[in-house]
């Protein structure tokens, strides 16, 4: 019995040490916000951990789903059927609130990130220029704009959530998925912004319907 209790206490101690180390790593990374996004600083000062998390997840999931929807249509425009199919499955998974929130967060984060890289590499001048491709491309534009405009709001909310977790270190045990994702949000936003601009400029060069409107909505972003 004593041996078992000693082993359990040792495991608990290791979890606490790992938790504190992870938090410190997260907080060290949180300040690395891309320069062009620093003006978006804002705050949820005074909100509870629950309210701060709710605010972050609301913006994150809404923007990610819009962006994933845009990526789905772009993959169709690029005739990347496998990627389109995987993206549609991810969209359905993230939408399903019966799935654990942490898994939905990780799925959406990875899907948007991986898809952005794939699209950036595939969207060459010669790609998606057929009439049918432009139809799919046009469907992507409204979602791309909505997704991007939501995504750029994430850095300050991610920081607020990290600050809230810092004030309640035990929350680390419940929010492991968030702790892994939050420090990566600035780079996530930077990549989404780069690819979002590429999508809109690509639509304009291809004379895709809605390209002018999308360009105007993004403004000087």
pLDDT digits (tens, 9 = 90+) for 167-202: 887 887 788 899 999 999 999 999 999 999 999 999
Identify whether the C-beta of residue 115 lies closer than 8 Å to the C-beta of residue 70.
no
Identify whether the C-beta of residue 31 lies closer than 8 Å to the C-beta of residue 156.
no
Is 178 part of any domain? Answer: yes
What does the CA dihedral 205, 207, 208, 212 come to, rounded to 10 degrees? 80
Domain span holding position 61: 44-218
Closest CA to 74 of 139, 126, 130, 151: 139
Is 161 part of any domain? Answer: yes
Q: Could you tell me which residues come within 8 angstroms of residue 19 by beta carbon, excluding any fewer than 6 positions away?
A: 169, 172, 173
What Cα–Cα distance (Å) separates residue 83 from each residue in 68, 134, 155? Answer: 11, 18, 28
Is 95 part of any domain? Answer: yes
Predicted confidence at residue 42, as pLDDT, reads 45
Is 143 part of any domain? Answer: yes
21 vs 181: CA distance, rounded Å: 15
Number of domains in the chain: 1
Per-residue pLDDT tens, the chain, 221 aa: give them.
455 555 554 554 444 444 444 444 444 444 344 444 443 344 455 678 999 999 999 999 999 999 999 999 999 999 999 999 999 999 999 999 999 999 999 999 999 999 999 999 999 888 999 999 999 999 999 999 999 999 999 999 999 998 888 888 788 778 889 999 999 999 999 999 999 999 999 999 999 999 999 999 988 77
Is 9 part of any domain? Answer: no
112 vs 116: CA distance, rounded Å: 6
Is 102 part of any domain? Answer: yes
| Placement of tokens 């309640």 in the chain | 168
């Amino acid at each position: 019995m004593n041996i078992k209790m000693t082993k359990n206490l040792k495991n608990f101690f290791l979890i606490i040490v790992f938790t504190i180390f992870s938090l410190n790593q997260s907080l060290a990374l949180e300040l690395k916000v891309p320069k062009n996004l620093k003006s978006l600083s804002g705050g949820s000062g005074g909100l509870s951990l629950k309210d701060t998390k709710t605010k972050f997840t609301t913006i994150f999931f809404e923007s990610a789903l819009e962006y994933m929807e845009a990526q789905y249509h772009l993959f169709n425009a690029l005739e990347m059927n496998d990627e389109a199919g995987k993206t549609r499955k991810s969209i359905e998974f993230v939408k399903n609130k019966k799935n654990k929130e942490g898994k939905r967060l990780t799925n959406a984060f990875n899907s948007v990130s991986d898809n952005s890289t794939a699209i950036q590499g595939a969207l060459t001048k010669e790609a998606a220029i057929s009439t049918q491709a432009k139809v799919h491309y046009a469907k992507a534009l409204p979602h791309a704009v909505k997704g991007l405009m939501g995504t750029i709001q994430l850095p300050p909310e991610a920081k607020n959530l990290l600050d809230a977790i810092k004030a309640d270190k035990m929350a680390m045990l419940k929010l492991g998925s968030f702790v892994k994702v939050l420090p990566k949000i600035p780079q996530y936003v930077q990549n989404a912004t780069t690819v979002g601009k590429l999508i809109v400029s690509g639509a304009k060069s291809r004379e895709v319907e809605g390209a002018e409107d999308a360009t105007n909505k993004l403004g000087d972003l």
